Amino acid sequence: MDLTSKTIAGLSEMLQKRELTSKEAAGLYLERIAALDPSINSYITVTTESALADAEKADKRLASGTDITPLTGVPISVKDIFCTEGLKTTCASRMLEGFIPPYDSTVIKKLKDAGAVILGKTNMDEFAMGSSTENSAFGSTLNPWAEDRVPGGSSGGSAASVAADLCAASIGTDTGGSIRQPASCCGVVGLKPTYGRVSRYGMIAFASSLDQAGPLTKDVKDAAIMLGLMAGRDNCDSTSIDASVPDYAGSLQDNIKGLRIGIPNEYFIEGMDKETEGLVREGIKTLKDAGAVIVDISLPHTEYAVSVYYLVATAEASSNLARYDGVKYGQRVDIGSGLIDMYKATRDAGFGAEVKRRIMLGTYALSSGYYDAYYKKATDVRALIKNDFDEAFKTCDVIATPTAPAPAFKIGERTSDPLTMYLSDIFTISCNLAGLPGISLPCGLTEAGLPTGLQIIGKFLGEQDVLNTAYAYEQARGPITQKPKL
């Protein structure tokens, strides 16, 4: 096996046995990035010098044998939405093209403290608004499995970098499916934790009541390792949960005999890609054969999830993005005719079309005379969606669904049809609205060789059950031998 194909666990074992140095590992990934990423465009910024310097520090740490974690010396990538001290952070927007934060986000700090080596910042939909990574100011990312297809979004660069072995793992953010949907499109594992399980401090905001950071990895064990190092209460984030963090990786087990898995009829809909449905149902059968009990459940308000999401998320985006006005940081376009004209010129030049669309939608939903009819009603229905999950979990332990209704679509296929684009996240949005943990894991390839994802959703703070179910499926399914042909 090529060293760049190894999991975190596999690399960590080699590093700790001194069969490989971190500097050697980082060098291999950087060489691969230089050779392959110009065509895939999964990275916005590659941090060659700092990565090699951090790898040298990790090697000294490994040599001392103290304060070692499974991530010490392991090269990873990070979505360009996390503030990184002294390193350009753009959110894939011209608005922040030259922004260099003076501090690290909490997630970045935790990963650095664990000894991770950051290879660079990955491409994404601008301000995390999109399902295809076509909305980046720095060009689209291509799917390593088929370069005429999207990698999903908004964490498409992170998913593509993992799928193409341009890093050992990555971190992304998930507001309505932005970790899980690209994980499905790129054939990797993507985990969205419970809302508040991972700190949002220093993670550039899109929709504050929905955003959550999580890992994209090559297998379930790696996702458990990453989550254990990322999670925990943070005094800098008042929405982070004050609860102990389990040893997710150490507690992984594949015995799911008697586990009740709920299957919602609302997630197998007319118009869904038939191959995707077949592969997901085959995955559910694999879980049943492994000892799980399949239970039919209903999530009756699912049909309203997309509408609710695109009112709540855009309203919060409208508020969050008001800070980009050309005054304190980021781009400034001063045409010399007054403050209001400077605001207008700065925002017009700095934001892309999709970001402008969502700001306008959100501003309208919050405006006087429309607030009760749109935003307030959406928050009321959001509560009903959460209640659906509460009721369902009275009869099941986890829920299994497709991650996306179809495999990755072709680049440019949906850019002129926003509503069709928004439906790409139809199966992932409810999980965010309810604040629940969810994971996408590969469950086979279509005849065209495109990956498909199986989604497991858990109870509030039920990450261990989600990971165990995913791990049991992974063990029963067996290793995936197919790789993208780059």
Beta-bridge partners for 173: 213
- The pLDDT of residue 423: 86
Q: Which of 155, 170, 178, 184 is catalytic?
A: 178
Distance CA 368, CA 149 (A): 42
Quick one: which H or E segment has residue 390?
helix 377-392
CA 24, 17, 220: angle at the middle one, nearest 5? 85
Distance CA 92, CA 290 (A): 43
- The pLDDT of residue 101: 96
| DSSP label of 162 | H
Distance CA 419, CA 309 (A): 13
Distance CA 303, CA 308 (A): 10
Amino acid at 364: Y
- Each residue's pLDDT tens digit, 52-107: 999 999 999 999 999 999 999 999 999 999 999 999 999 999 999 989 999 999 99
79 is catalytic: yes
Distance CA 34, CA 77 (A): 14
Scored b (16 or more CB within 10 A) or e, 92-109 reads: bbbbbeebebeebbbbbb
Strands 212-217 and 170-174 come out as: antiparallel
176: Cα within 13 Å, side-chain hemisphere? 28
Quick one: which H or E segment has residue 117?
strand 117-122
Q: Are 240 and 234 in contact (CB under 8 A)?
A: yes
Nearest CA-CA partner of 469 in 181, 265, 258: 258
- Each residue's pLDDT tens digit, 397-423: 999 999 999 999 999 999 888 888 988
Nearest CA-CA partner of 457 in 448, 446, 470, 476: 470
- The pLDDT of residue 220: 98
Distance CA 128, CA 207 (A): 10
SS3 state at 114: coil
Strands 43-46 and 117-122 come out as: antiparallel
- The pLDDT of residue 1: 55
- Each residue's pLDDT tens digit, 293-315: 999 999 999 999 999 999 999 99
Structure tokens at 453: 């994802």
Distance CA 93, CA 126 (A): 5
- The pLDDT of residue 328: 86
Angle between helices 220-230 and 106-113 (to 10 degrees): 110
Q: Which of 23, 79, 109, 192 is catalytic?
A: 79
Q: Which of 131, 132, 140, 154 is catalytic?
A: 154
Q: What domains lie within the chain, and their CATH numbers?
A: 3-259 (3.90.1300.10)
SS3 state at 472: helix
3-state DSSP: the chain helix, strand, coil percent, rounded to 5? 45, 15, 45
Strands 75-79 and 117-122 come out as: parallel
Nearest CA-CA partner of 440 in 178, 227, 206: 178
- The pLDDT of residue 329: 85
Distance CA 301, CA 434 (A): 12
Identify the segments of the chain with pLDDT beneath 50.
none
CA 106, 202, 467: angle at the middle one, nearest 5? 55
- The pLDDT of residue 422: 87
Distance CA 315, CA 291 (A): 44
Residues in contact with 19: Cβ distance below 8 Å, sequence separation at least 6, in sequence order: none
Residues in the chain: 486
- The pLDDT of residue 419: 83
E strand map for 28-113: 43-46, 75-79
| DSSP label of 155 | S
| DSSP label of 209 | T
- The pLDDT of residue 416: 86
